């Protein structure tokens, strides 16, 4: 049996090696390493895939969030609402720009922020909402967009873990996550569903004005060379990474299907284990399973994690400390709710290996060991 990993990028690469290698070789041959043709090509391909008007590539997912917020023209101390149970980047950029993060609790079943908690946290200083589509499926965007319209707020979607997933509206029509709010952001970190071989990110919008601002901000505030109209940053997707992403984008839906098939094996194997709560898929969202995250009841999470490690099965805790408890935010953040759910999740969640290359033998071994643990 092959070594079990949380993510197997080697085998994924070997399956598309020719596509990847040819794309990289073309870039090296052209020597256009920055803002080469493949960056524009990839941007257009991703724009078509997402059915969104503008794609602005950038250096990483955190930069994407920062550039999006910079384009809004907010003032110091303006408030932005985001979930307490997520990776720090979603809130980190708020504090770095001098704005105030307002943390709210999430839904226990889906791990995602709720519209009710968002609305209860709104104040006269609230200017934007950052819903995070955690672990591979949508936050309740229809309700969130209704709140945003009611209070005249911007919505910045963090789609780093759910690129390619669909939001399914009540009338049945579908829309790609990241294209619903004012602006969408994603990361191309290597372990993401669409990952490059270094750092990378992108921003999406259907708004021409915001698109122009964000293009300028990402390039030192320039629209015309050496004419700096606004303060910006230096955040670019390099051409080699664009070549890698262009090759992998063609397989993104195939990758999502492979992840769903692995999740199905897990779900069927773990059904009926009393101390496990399986991931719930929302009716309003497809799922691309960036993570397969269990909730382990009765305080047995760490014991299960140790048992799996003893049997050469990696697992991860995403996330052990909610953001409202992180020292970095204590002086600057406002608590927009209580956090019983986020704190409970931090004690219960455990993510199992989830990637496109899990084979039948590996899945059988992982599931057998989990069942063995709970049979003791």
Confidence tier at 221 by pLDDT (50, 70, 90): very high
Mean per-residue pLDDT for 156-167? Answer: 98
pLDDT at residue number 366? 98
Question: Does residue 376 have a pLDDT over 90?
Answer: no
pTM: 0.97
Q: What pLDDT band is residue 339 in, cutting at 50, 70 and 90?
A: very high
User: Domain 252-375 belongs to what architecture?
Assistant: Alpha-Beta Complex (3.90)
Residue 311 has pLDDT above 90, yes or no: yes
Of all residues in the chain, the percent with pLDDT exceeding 70 is 100
Segment 266-291 shows an average pLDDT of 97
Mean of the pLDDT values across residues 326-340?
95
Domains 9-249 and 252-375 share a fold: no
- The CATH code belonging to domain 9-249 is 3.40.640.10
Whether the per-residue pLDDT at 140 is higher than 90: the answer is yes
| Residue of 103, 76, 77 whose CA lies nearest to 91 | 103
Return the domain boundaries, the chain: 9-249, 252-375
Q: What is the pLDDT of residues 47-84, one digit of tens each?
A: 999 999 999 999 999 999 999 999 999 999 899 999 99
């Amino acid at each position: 049996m092959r070594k079990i990993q949380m993510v197997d990028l080697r085998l994924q690469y070997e399956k598309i090696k020719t596509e990847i290698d040819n794309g990289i070789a073309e870039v090296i041959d052209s020597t256009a390493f920055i803002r080469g043709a493949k960056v524009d090509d990839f941007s257009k391909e991703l724009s078509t895939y997402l059915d969104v008007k503008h794609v602005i590539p950038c250096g990483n997912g955190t930069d994407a969030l920062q550039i999006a917020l910079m384009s809004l023209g907010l003032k110091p101390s303006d408030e932005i609402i985001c979930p307490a149970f997520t990776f720090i980047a979603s809130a980190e950029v708020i504090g770095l720009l001098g704005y105030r993060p307002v943390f709210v609790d999430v839904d226990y079943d889906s791990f995602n922020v709720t519209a009710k908690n968002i609305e209860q946290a709104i104040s006269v200083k609230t200017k934007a909402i950052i819903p995070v589509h955690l672990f591979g499926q949508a936050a309740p965007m229809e309700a969130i967009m209704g709140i945003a319209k009611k209070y005249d707020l911007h919505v910045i979607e963090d789609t780093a873990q759910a690129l390619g997933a669909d939001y399914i509206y009540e009338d049945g029509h579908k829309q790609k996550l990241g294209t619903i709010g004012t602006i969408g952001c994603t990361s191309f970190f290597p372990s993401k569903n669409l990952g490059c071989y270094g750092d990378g990110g992108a921003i999406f919008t259907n708004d021409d004005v915001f698109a122009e601002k964000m293009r300028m901000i990402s390039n030192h505030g320039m629209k015309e060379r050496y004419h700096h109209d606004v303060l910006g940053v230096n955040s670019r997707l390099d051409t080699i990474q664009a070549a890698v992403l262009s090759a992998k984008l063609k397989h993104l839906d195939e990758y999502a299907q492979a992840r769903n098939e692995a999740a199905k094996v897990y779900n069927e194997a773990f059904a009926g284990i009393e101390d496990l709560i399986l991931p719930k898929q929302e009716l309003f969202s497809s799922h691309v399973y960036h993570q397969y995250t269990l909730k382990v009841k009765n305080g047995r999470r760490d014991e299960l994690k140790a048992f799996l490690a003893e049997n050469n099965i990696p697992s991860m805790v995403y996330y052990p400390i909610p953001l409202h408890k992180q020292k970095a935010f204590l002086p600057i953040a406002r608590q927009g709710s209580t956090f019983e759910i986020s704190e409970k999740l931090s004690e219960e969640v455990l993510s199992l290996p989830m990637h496109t290359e899990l084979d039948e033998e590996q899945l059988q071994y992982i599931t057998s060991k989990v069942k063995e643990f709970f049979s003791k």
